[in-house]
Amino acid sequence: MTTPSSLQQHKELGEGLGFSGAELVDFIKEQQALERADRQAERDAKEKEKERIERQAEREAKEKEKNREHREKEMKFHQAEAAEEKERQEEERRRQDEAAEKEKRDKRKRDRDSMSWNRNDKSWN
């Protein structure tokens, strides 16, 4: 949009260059067209910059989501490892308890066997 002052400037510039009548009108129209083209180029550049910023924001959001998913998978993996280790330790504790219990039973049996009545000697062994 050409402002009145811009129109006046174009008129004065054209007259200073020696244009008058139809030539002056054509000169003013050319100058207005150049201004419109400059403004359009500025709008286009702003739009391209806006699109570039939006694409960058989308890439960053995707990367952030990818990192979040990776951290979540990593956390689940470590939780599963910890659960497996806990289960392994509990199993080992059960085996040790069973072995200790078996040892106690075997010792009691050996003690009973060694304390049995010897019929031949008529005494306790």
pLDDT at 125 over 60: no
**Structure confidence at residue 75 (pLDDT):** 97
Residue type, 35: E
Sort residue 2 into left (φ over 0), alpha (ψ -120 to 50) or beta.
beta
Residue type, 32: Q
Within 10 A of 27 (CB to CB), how many other CB atoms are there?
18
| 61 — pLDDT class (breaks 50, 70, 90) | very high
Q: For the chain, where are the alpha helices, taking DSSP H only? A: 4-16, 21-114
Answer whether 0.75 is exceeded by the pTM: no
Rounded Cα–Cα distance for residues 110 and 56 (Å): 80
Q: Mean pLDDT throughout 40-67?
A: 98
**Structure confidence at residue 41 (pLDDT):** 98
Q: Mean pLDDT throughout 28-45?
A: 96
Within 10 A of 72 (CB to CB), how many other CB atoms are there?
10
Task: Specify burial of residue 11 (Cβ count, 10 A radius: 0-12, 13-18, 19+).
Answer: middle
pLDDT digits (tens, 9 = 90+) for 70-110: 999 999 999 999 999 999 999 999 999 999 999 999 988 88
Q: Where are the domains of the chain?
A: 4-113
**Structure confidence at residue 107 (pLDDT):** 87
Task: Answer yes or no: are the C-beta atoms of 14 and 6 closer than 8 Å.
Answer: no
